[in-house]
Amino acid sequence: MVPGAAAQPVGEEHVPGPEVAAPAVVELDDIPAEPPTQPARPAGGDLFGADCDTVINGSQVSAYCHNAYPETDLVRLHVECDRWWDVDGDGAAVAVGPAGRTELVGRCWKEVRSAWVSHRRP
């Protein structure tokens, strides 16, 4: 005996339930002859900006930047301190050439509220 067979009434036809789906119908006219086109990529001159990872450790801030693009990027570290009397810092701009890497550092006397890196073309 098959499990579930006793639950079906004897002599009646099995009526398909929701577990049985209708067969899929595909109209050949709806399939495009060519694959869809890919969106246009930005021109090589539009790609710009080093990728920077910022790490805050207590009152110290470090940013590690890598420029994967063919243009030089001027990166600058900005540090906002948490205390009202603590002086915020804007570091000097550092040029990161193509395939170049650099480390930017900054600090507060006490806690750091936020830190970010700005980018500029030379």
Task: Return the half-sphere exposure (C-beta side, CA atoms, 13 A cut-off) of residue 80.
Answer: 5
Question: For position 36, what pLDDT does the model report?
Answer: 57
CB 104, CB 117: distance < 8 Å: yes
Q: The whole model's pTM is what? A: 0.62
List per-block mean pLDDT (blocks of 10 residues) for the chain, which spans 122 residues: 50 56 67 59 70 96 96 96 93 96 96 95 92
Given strand 51-57, what is the order of strands in its sheet? 51-57, 60-66, 101-107
Of 122, 89, 93, the closest CA to residue 108 belongs to 89
CB 88, CB 119: distance < 8 Å: no
Question: For position 1, what pLDDT does the model report?
Answer: 46
Phi, psi dihedrals of residue 105, rounded to the nearest 5°:
-130, 150
Question: For position 47, what pLDDT does the model report?
Answer: 79
